Amino acid sequence: MSDKLHGKVAVVTGASSGIGEATALALASVGAQVALVARRTDRLEALVKRISESGGQAISIVADVADDAQAHDMILKTKDAFGRVDILVNNAGVMLLGQIDGADTEDWRRMVNTNVLGLMYATHAALPIMKAQGEGHIVNISSVAGRLAQAGSGVYNATKWAVGGFSEALRQEVHNDKIRVTIIEPGAVATELTDHITNPEAKQRVKTWVQSLTPLESEDIAAAIVYAVTQPLRVNVNEILIRPTDQ
Ligand code: NDP
């Protein structure tokens, strides 16, 4: 444990697996008190235990970020528990790949509601608290898919493009309030993300592609997030693009 973030409070959405789980562990290991948000209670409870056993402090909050009321409530619950909200890592997301023609539009709603609106709702809830504190940091997880569009990824691309546009406008609106905004853009990371794809061909195609690489580990992304949020207040790391070497 180090104490770089001692006294700071972080909310990590999508903390029940993958990048969010690794980020919660990494933030706790540098002294932040962490609120872990996702829908799978058992995973969150196990992570709270792990963080507590290694000397950190965490709470679990079961919430669906795609629900405006639940997303707001998770931020308020964090403030109630720890007294502040310094860092919000908007990480919860789904990548339901497939061609646009013939797609199941329920996949589109899930992606837009989680990857875009969920991130916006949480940000909306955190801003008044961060403004009152006189500082804050919002870290939005985009993707290489927020920079490069590909056939078979149109709506996922659209959601991550939205994250980029929203984040830059937000940065311009709140930098005078000492609120920093960072976009993290990972390439392929070995997580459960592809398991949730509903289109069998798209799922197989992306799994085969990931297996052809040495993908990043979730900890690699967590380290980039820790880097961004531990810089002096004068430094706003705007954007970090990280790909596996062989991608
Ligand atoms: P995982 O599937 O391992 O993690 C996704 C997390 O999001 C889970 O904790 C899941 O928890 C949570 N989640 C999903 N929907 C909701 C919801 N409606 N409300 C609350 N939590 C939700 O994938 P990753 O760790 O890979 O993904 C994390 C982020 O990284 C995503 O935004 C993804 O787009 C992005 N990313 C991932 C890349 C990769 O290659 N893996 C590359 C680039 C970006 P639960 O189901 O318990 O709610």
Q: What's residue 22's pLDDT?
A: 98
Atom of ligand 1 nearest to the CA of 44: 47
CB neighbourhood size of 195 (10 A): 9
Atom of ligand 1 nearest to the CA of 92: 7
- Is residue 102 assigned to a domain? yes
Write the residue with the smallest CA distance to atom 32 of ligand 1: 93
- Is residue 90 assigned to a domain? yes
- Is residue 157 assigned to a domain? yes
Structural domain count of the chain: 1
- Is residue 1 assigned to a domain? no
Angle value at C-alpha 13, between 8 and 14, nearest 5 degrees: 135
Q: How far is the CA of 70 from the centre of ligand 1 (A)?
A: 17
- Is residue 98 assigned to a domain? yes
- Is residue 38 assigned to a domain? yes
Q: What's residue 1's pLDDT?
A: 61
The type of residue at 96 is: L
Task: State whether the beta carbon of 70 lies less than 6 angstroms from ligand 1.
Answer: no
Task: State whether the beta carbon of 5 lies less than 6 angstroms from ligand 1.
Answer: no
Sheet holding 136-141, edge to edge: 57-62, 33-38, 9-13, 87-90, 136-141, 179-186, 239-242
Q: Does the annotation mark 227 as catalytic?
A: no
| Cα–Cα dist 36/17, whole Å | 11
Residue 148 domain boundaries: 9-242
Asked if 81 and 130 touch (Cβ cutoff 8 Å), the reply is no
Catalytic residue among 156, 189, 215, 229: 156
For 36-76, write each residue's pLDDT tens digit. 999 999 999 999 999 999 999 999 999 999 999 999 999 99
Is the alpha carbon torsion for 136, 14, 72, 145 positive or negative? Answer: positive
The type of residue at 123 is: T
For 187-200, write each residue's pLDDT tens digit. 999 999 999 999 99
pLDDT band at 2 (very low <50, low <70, confident <90, very high): confident
Tokens 């770089």 locate to: 4
Asked if 163 and 112 touch (Cβ cutoff 8 Å), the reply is no
Phi, psi values for residue 47, rounded to 5°: -75, -35
Nearest to 56 by CA among 99, 23, 25: 25
pTM of the model: 0.98
Residues in the chain, total: 247
Task: State whether the beta carbon of 159 lies less than 6 angstroms from ligand 1.
Answer: no
The CATH number assigned to the domain holding 119 equals 3.40.50.720
- Is residue 3 assigned to a domain? no
Task: State whether the beta carbon of 64 lies less than 6 angstroms from ligand 1.
Answer: yes
Nearest to 242 by CA among 137, 146, 136: 146
Pocket probe mutation, ligand 1, options 114, 166, 191, max atoms within 8 Å of Cβ: 191
- Is residue 4 assigned to a domain? no
The type of residue at 215 is: P
For 103-159, write each residue's pLDDT tens digit. 999 999 999 999 999 999 999 999 999 999 999 999 999 999 999 999 999 999 999
